[in-house]
Amino acid sequence: MDFRWSEEQELLLESLEELLKREAPESLMAELDAKKEFPDKPWQALADHGILGLGIPEEYGGAFTDIMTMTLVCQALGKHALPLGIIYSLGVITIRDILQFGSEEIKKEVLGGMIRGDAPVALGITEPQAGSDAAALKTTAEFDGDEVVFNGQKMYCTLSKQAKYILLMTRDQKSENPYESISMWLLPTETPGITFHLLNKVGWWTVPTYEVFIENVRVPKKNLVGEMNKGWPQLMANFEIERLALCAASVGAAEAAFEDAAAYANRRVQFGKPIGTFQAVQHIIVDMAVKIENMRNYIYKIAWMMDNDMPVRTEHAMCKLYVARASFEVIDSAMQILGGLGYMMDHRVQRLWRDIRLMRIGAGTDEIMYNIAGPQLLKKVR
């Protein structure tokens, strides 16, 4: 078993690290966070470098890459500029949905823009009454000649205002079976009838989230992505890789926090000695490092399984469950080691702390991960 990266992966990560140092230094990320601004320039720099084209087929202007490399990219982004890792991860699912289910016309229109630096296509699933119970969504789609008319409301729709499109999930209310009555549509965000209401979150300040009101919004029928009433299985197909990408970004963030804590432990002198010489601090450091090592191995294993076309339904849920918790714990420990300084808005660990806490909730709560993995695990043992 060779745990080493290929030379190409090493060179790509070195190049990416250099790019992030130039275009997304910590001072800029801190400033954007304080202003709650979408990181336009750094995102554009990623586009110009070609990173946003990874995984998109060459015929649409991208460059092939495997899931392992994508995982490494998300991890590097998470470490050096977490918001970029988050935004990138959010795009992973919508890009794949469009690639797998969109018409040629939709693919050409959307993917080119994404490679050039558009904000990723936003995902419109959750509604006020439909969170973990996503199938309870109520937004409707009624046909009217060559058009389809949407009515409804979406909640926690991240980047929907920045993006050019929302991947909108609607449900045929007449059908009893939710899993065969949901459809997926491409909704341009400039279409009349859409209202955005900005939500005030604890973290993810540079990745805005909105409540979206959809009133008699009309788009051409051909904006259907995939098949009518097959939206649910289409959606499920790519949740796994989105969760993996977000996990990778979280691991990167934990690594950043670890470095901050360790550097501080070496430098901060109390009672005449660097605090890193005290056993209590060393024990925390070791626990952090063990968690990071576990998280890394977990995300790489899942990536490897996906690259080898192995099913990861149970495994990815367990991975997401573990990484969401462990990454937050590592960052929380870093804050503890940094003491008062860690609690200051000046220091980046508070930003990582606020941003990563969402991981246990977003993209599938801990509880849903348990629900996915539990029954499957029991089935394995008779």
Partner 1 sequence: MKSQRDIWIFTEKNTLLAELVGCANGLAKEMEANLTALILGPYSLARQAIALGVGQVFWLGEQRAGDMVEDCVPTLAKLVETHAPYAFLMGSTTRGRTIAGRLAARLDVTVLTDIKEIKWVDRYFQASHLIFGGGALRIEQTQVEPVIATVVPGTFLPGQADPNRQGEIVFVEWVPPTWQVGVRERKPRTATTVNLAAARKVVCLGRGVARKEDLAFLKDFANILGAEIGCTRPLAEGLNWLPRERYIGISGANIKPDLYLGVGVSGQVQHTVGMSDARVVVAINKDKDAPIFAQADFGIVGDLYTVVPALMAAIKAMK
Partner 2 sequence: MGLNILVTVKFAPNAVDIEVKPDGSISLERAEWEISSFDLPAIEAAVRLAEATRGKVIALSVGPARINNSKLKKNVLSRGPDELVLVADDALAEADTAVTARVLALAAAKLAPFDLLLSGEGSADLYFQQVGLQLGERMGIPTLNAIRKIEVYGNHVVVERSLEDEIEVLEVPLPAALSVTTDIEQPRLPTMKEILKAGNKPVYEWSLTDLNLADLPGKVEVLHTMATPRVERKNIRLQGPTEEAVCELAGLLKKEGVL
Residue 114: name its binding partner from partner 1, partner 2, none (Cβ under 5 to 8 Å by kind).
Answer: none
Q: Least distance (Å) from partner 2 to the CB of residue 377?
A: 37
Residue 19: name its binding partner from partner 1, partner 2, none (Cβ under 5 to 8 Å by kind).
Answer: partner 2
Residue 25: name its binding partner from partner 2, partner 1, none (Cβ under 5 to 8 Å by kind).
Answer: partner 1
Q: Least distance (Å) from partner 1 to the CB of residue 263?
A: 8
Degrees (nearest 5) of the Cα angle 168, 173, 178?
A: 75
By the criterion CB under 8 A, which residues form the site for partner 2? 7-8, 10-12, 15-16, 18-19, 49-51, 53-54, 63, 65, 69, 341
Q: CA-to-CA distance for 228 and 226, rounded, in angstroms?
A: 7
Q: Least distance (Å) from partner 1 to the CB of residue 34?
A: 12
The residues facing 168 across adjacent strands are 124, 185
CB distance 338 to 347 below 8 Å = yes
Pattern 207-246, partner 1, x by CB under 8 A:
----------------------------------------
Cβ nearer to partner 2, comparing 6 with 129:
6
Question: Counting contacts by CB under 8 A, is residue 263 touching partner 1?
Answer: yes
Cβ nearer to partner 2, comparing 7 with 176:
7
Cβ nearer to partner 1, comparing 247 with 349:
349
Residue 13: name its binding partner from partner 2, partner 1, none (Cβ under 5 to 8 Å by kind).
Answer: none
Return the structure tokens found at 312. 């990861």
Strands 122-124 and 269-270 turn out to be: unpaired
Of 298, 367, 360, give the one whose Cα is nearest residue 331.
Answer: 360
Q: Least distance (Å) from partner 2 to the CB of residue 8?
A: 5
Q: CA-to-CA distance for 37 and 163, rounded, in angstroms?
A: 14
CB distance 356 to 327 below 8 Å = yes
Q: CA-to-CA distance for 23 and 42, rounded, in angstroms?
A: 5
CB burial string 216-231: b at 16+ within 10 A, e below: ebebeeebbbbeebbb
Q: Least distance (Å) from partner 1 to the CB of residue 73?
A: 23
Degrees (nearest 5) of the Cα angle 35, 127, 192?
A: 70
Residue 11: name its binding partner from partner 1, partner 2, none (Cβ under 5 to 8 Å by kind).
Answer: partner 2
Cβ nearer to partner 1, comparing 240 with 260:
260
Q: Least distance (Å) from partner 2 to the CB of residue 49?
A: 6
Q: CA-to-CA distance for 188 and 166, rounded, in angstroms?
A: 6
Site for partner 1 in 118-157 (CB under 8 A): none
Cβ nearer to partner 2, comparing 45 with 302:
45
Cβ nearer to partner 2, comparing 69 with 160:
69
E-strand stretches of the chain: 122-124, 140-144, 147-158, 165-171, 182-188, 194-198, 209-220, 224-225, 269-270, 273-274
| DSSP assignments along 354-380, one per residue | HHHHGGGTTTS-HHHHHHHHHHHHHHH
Cβ nearer to partner 1, comparing 136 with 269:
269
Pattern 6-35, partner 1, x by CB under 8 A:
-------------------xxx--------
Q: In Å, how far from its chain's centre is CA 353?
A: 16
Residue 51: name its binding partner from partner 2, partner 1, none (Cβ under 5 to 8 Å by kind).
Answer: partner 2
- Binding residues for partner 1, how many (CB under 8 A)? 4
Q: Least distance (Å) from partner 1 to the CB of residue 346?
A: 9
Q: CA-to-CA distance for 44 and 57, rounded, in angstroms?
A: 20
Return the structure tokens found at 117. 């630096």
Question: Counting contacts by CB under 8 A, is residue 269 touching partner 1?
Answer: no
Task: Kindly list the residues in this chain that would bind partner 1 in the complex (CB under 8 A).
Answer: 25-27, 263
